[in-house]
Amino acid sequence: MTPRFDAIGLVVSDMAASVTFYRRLGFAFPTGAEIEPHAEAELPGGLRLLLDTEETVRSFLPQWQPPTGSGRHSLALRCEGPAEVDAVYEDLVGAGYHGELKPWDAFWGQRYASVQDPDGNGVDLFAPLAAAPAE
């Protein structure tokens, strides 16, 4: 038996707010997902992003409580180039989402920025600063 990585799951406090945020980033949630207790968007490569409301999680794990303090995970989204990192960051911040880290040229060779989704989960935006040398 070999388990395989299939999905990323997030617990959300407001399904409509989370679906709106992730749709803005290009995630294809089905129509009506905003009012469901569970929603899924298929990702490139066959992975899925799963969103479950806090109430859904408590339906099978009654003692569940939202975490407190800073998170230890983030979703990383590769952009087409440095300009797209800047544009997506500005679009999200302009729409009222929290910009955690303004776009900058990171020492590891990427244009890099970080925003937070409605529940405070990190969403990192990145793109290589220069094209890789030809081999």
- Residues 7-51 pLDDT 10s: 999 999 999 999 999 999 999 999 999 999 999 999 988 899 999
The pLDDT of residue 1 is 87
Measured between alpha carbons, how far is 26 from 28 in angstroms, rounded to an integer? 6
Residues 30 and 93 sit within 8 Å (Cβ to Cβ): no
Pick from 79, 88, 23: which is nearest to 51 by CA?
23
- pTM to 2 decimal places: 0.89
The pLDDT of residue 69 is 76
CA distances from 62 to 22, 54, 58, 65, 66 (A): 27, 10, 4, 9, 12
The pLDDT of residue 132 is 54
Amino acid letter, residue 108? W
Pick from 12, 58, 67: which is nearest to 34 by CA?
12
What value, to the nearest 5°, has the Cα angle with vertex 68 and ends 64 and 70?
135
The pLDDT of residue 72 is 75
